[in-house]
Chains A and B, each alone.
Chain A
């Protein structure tokens, strides 16, 4: 049920914000392109799970959050943590199992958390591999915040496959009966590894999962960044007002294999071609030009800046040392010496709000 154009929250986005959205989506793709290069050079440890074709929905949904809100990404939601300010270097360090990574080499890819000192700064909750588990956890973050009288919104993601878990259902239901400030972005990207959505659920649209919980839900074109932003912003606003959780289904496509090793021969070429033509970044780029928000020159400049930043950050992480094996048993339980840290950075588009550029990160030690 698309809202009428008159009420679209995206109408209120400034020019800088529109450009920033573009920059974040571009940066997400550029980071992953760099990672793919490092993967081919055998510098990535373990697998590489790309969000190619889905960068738009991760970025645009998280963009609806306030700076101090909480987000929990799954491995394909790099864009959401980039929006919340996680420094790309940390992502590269995680993928290369460096000692400087947020988990000091203990866990992989987007599996890290960031809890700011005090209440100032974004909350990023790291995933565990077990799908579904983040939904109840983020419901709990919402519960904790409400009890502390913070108007915080918790957002998390779930794949079409992940919605089949018991944990997803229990978490959604708990959030619904408690009216918790939770927004769940349910991504129909057509496959869960090799399994098509039709084997995962017997309902035609993923957002219909929410019917069982009696909460608001809608389905959006996941490759239309502004549509995703609009739906997310409405859900975030509802949650912040105390109206409880929402679920947003995004219609999108996983354009690579489950991970880089997977040649996805189970996906048909025509299906991929159809979605290729709907690439979210290409579409948003065209929209910016059509609506005269930006000129070709503006966008080329942003693209160059993003590519350079990703390259520089990858280079820094590559030069970082691995973890010290002598630390392996530190901090298994609280009270140990494990002191992880993530740098929170701001995009160049937020300079006007008085913050530093992404090249001068604010270091936050939790």
Chain B
């Protein structure tokens, strides 16, 4: 065990999987010589060589398609997008090629697409997005979003070993901010299993990614006021572990869904719909969502703070649900 950052946990998983399986290769911009824009792959070129750590041209669609082709040949490529926002350039290869292959031909497509996502650090409209809902709508793709170093490492190992295309969004604002004790050895956090990050009986908060930490802070504050929140970290959006949050809602009778991405068409709508349909009988308050405003991510701090869900907004919404 050692205390490591969220970023180091991602590096550890990649390194571990590359040592474990020589079919794991990495492709991306500036990942080899430079070690990646965020230094996730620092030292990888030296350890694994240029055949397995490939600096690509700025051709997202090209190297995404190539990764899929290499997967057909038996490799397990991990693609890095320098920022999650630029996955848009590879959208067609992912949603039309990678996602549909198994269903059409029974050809597995073990490719992981990593992208640093998320806002809160004044990156402006093209370096702050949370594009998970672009992909959760597409059958054939798995989508995961870790919130802690432990989960980051275990989910990435599971994603690499999975025989399906997996979108792995890592929140860049957590990279160096979040640290915890993580086992040195290999382990997996299975895809499709949520985690109860805090137990409670008054209100269920269903969340994922960076908002897990904001929700936990709100739960702590509410605990001081006598309300115990159960904070559920989905970890995987697709496949989705419905049982964990439905079981929780059956216990608390109140649900708040929180994510950093914009509200409309966001994944929270799916969770809210499942709760409304499956747990209608136990609900004591409307299922409520807290998410970013439906605007592009603005640059200036004052604007971005107004746009993003904050602890204040989560707290206010939680109070409303609790007092309904």
Contact = CB atoms under 8 A, between A and B. Distances in A.
A161 B62 CA distance: 14
A323 B303 CA distance: 7
Contacts of B127: 129
A192 B305 CA distance: 32
B30 A195 contact: yes
Interface stretch (B85-93, B134-142, B192-200, B235-243): B85-93
Contacts of B89: 130, 165-167
Contacts of B58: 131-132, 161-162, 164-165, 192, 200
Interface stretch (B101-109, B118-126, B178-186): B118-126
A118 B157 CA distance: 58
Interface band, chain A: 35 or more
Contacts of B301: 45, 97, 322
A45 B302 CA distance: 12
A194 B30 contact: yes
B170 interface: no
A240 to B, nearest CB: 31
A207 B298 CA distance: 36
A194 B55 CA distance: 10
Interface stretch (A27-35, A100-108, A179-187, A219-227): A100-108
A207 to B, nearest CB: 17
Contacts of B62: 164, 166
B187 interface: no
A166 B62 CA distance: 8
Interface stretch (A283-291, A325-333, A353-361): A325-333
Contacts of B33: 194-195, 266
Interface string B25-61: 0000110011001000000000000000001111111
A264 to B, nearest CB: 10
B296 interface: yes
A340 interface: no
Name the residue among B56, B125, B294, B307 with the largest chain A CB count within 10 angstroms: B125
B55 A199 contact: yes
Interface in B247-299: 293-296, 298-299
A99 B33 CA distance: 40
Contacts of A201: 57
A16 to B, nearest CB: 38
Name the residue among A99, A105, A132, A201 with the largest chain B CB count within 10 angstroms: A105
A97 B299 contact: yes
A45 B300 contact: yes
A110 to B, nearest CB: 12
B37 A193 contact: yes
Name the residue among B37, B299, B306 with the largest chain A CB count within 10 angstroms: B299
A108 B294 contact: no
Contact of A108 (B29, B60, B124): B124
Interface in A176-212: 192-195, 199-201
B300 A323 contact: yes
A128 interface: yes
A73 to B, nearest CB: 16
B30 A105 contact: no
Nearest to A46: B122
Given A325-B303, A328-B306, A164 B59 contact: yes
A130 B298 contact: no
A26 interface: no
Given A45-B300, A200-B57, A266-B33, A328 B124 contact: no
Interface string A92-123: 00000111000101111001000000000000
B304 to A, nearest CB: 8
20 contacts: A45-B301, A97-B301, A106-B303, A107-B125, A108-B124, A129-B83, A129-B126, A130-B85, A131-B58, A164-B57, A165-B60, A166-B89, A193-B37, A195-B30, A199-B56, A200-B57, A322-B301, A324-B302, A329-B293, A332-B295
In the A-B complex, the 8 residue pairs with the smallest Cβ-Cβ separation, listed nearest first, are A105-B300, A194-B34, A129-B126, A164-B57, A97-B300, A325-B306, A328-B306, A161-B58
Given A200-B58, A332-B296, 19 more contacts: A45-B122, A45-B300, A45-B301, A46-B122, A46-B123, A106-B303, A107-B299, A111-B124, A129-B83, A130-B89, A164-B62, A166-B61, A193-B30, A195-B33, A195-B57, A199-B55, A323-B302, A328-B298, A332-B295
Interface of A: 45-46, 97-99, 103, 105-108, 111, 128-132, 161-162, 164-167, 192-195, 199-201, 266, 322-329, 332
